[in-house]
Structure 1
């Protein structure tokens, strides 16, 4: 499994898929970005497209996996990007699936776009956890956690959270609480994945001597 995931052809395929998904995600958020630009301060705009930004972090992490930086500064940037990629991809991947399911459970109709979104977002979470073993992001996970908590605060403090299914518009406090909890759980999952990767690498080095 590791050989397949780490092979350059496979990473290139995944990079292409994630690049297209990221572009589509920002297009999907076009109406909310336009609404936010017309009704809120411009500095809030970067906090609006949550899932596409998570996908962008993962896409950049794949680029840095293919072309790892050699300088100390570059290595630090890579670790931060990888940490952001894992934490946010796990968080928003699970969040989108759960919100769509919750909307359907409360009486909303699920169409083909909803099923497509659930499949693609579940893929975000899975790929992030799978590739955490190749990342060197453990020390940067606290920073990724702080960034994601800041994003949650902007979303629910200023009301720029992702537009919800109509059946959930009266459940914003519950969605907010779930969102903050999921951020903590996602950072914990990222930390555990990074720890497991570090232990495997240490065991491999010990067998070499």
Structure 2
């Protein structure tokens, strides 16, 4: 990654503050961007965009190589609610969702795509991942799974999207410290190898 791209990503992250609903750490955002550049991954997909902490660093990396990232997020509170949580955590998560202005997040991300000159490199599909997969071509080089963390939805994201990932493609699994996400990892292990682990997220590679 060039120093110029690193600076662009650092600046973007300053405009995309982390909060309780989603806070991709800078090291993860930079790692995803580095994969795009170093492996020339010109087609990436992200499930669960929220406010764009990982989406926009990936988009800036795609801009540097002439590629594209497609972000999938319905921006609906009903789709964001999660049930596979302890009662205490469910209260915390639901409070965050209740306070979330979904329309503002979607519009803000669309404006950033335009203002940051990413129209050719970033696309937002305001759909559930289950619907969006029908419209996506095969050959995904990097897939970031960070949508609803309930077992049902994590499993669907893996099973529906794995066939669309090219051989040797990457899968970035977020929040692998959550029980619901960990329970779905054997679905990945059937066709992929764990490449690296980073505490709360993992990188897998399709065999």
Mark yes or no: TM-score above 0.5.
Answer: no
Give the structure with the higher percent helix: 1
Give the structure with the higher percent strand: 2
RCO comparison, higher one (Cα < 8 Å, 6+): 1
| TM-score normalized by the length of structure 1 | 0.32
| TM-score normalized by the length of structure 2 | 0.32
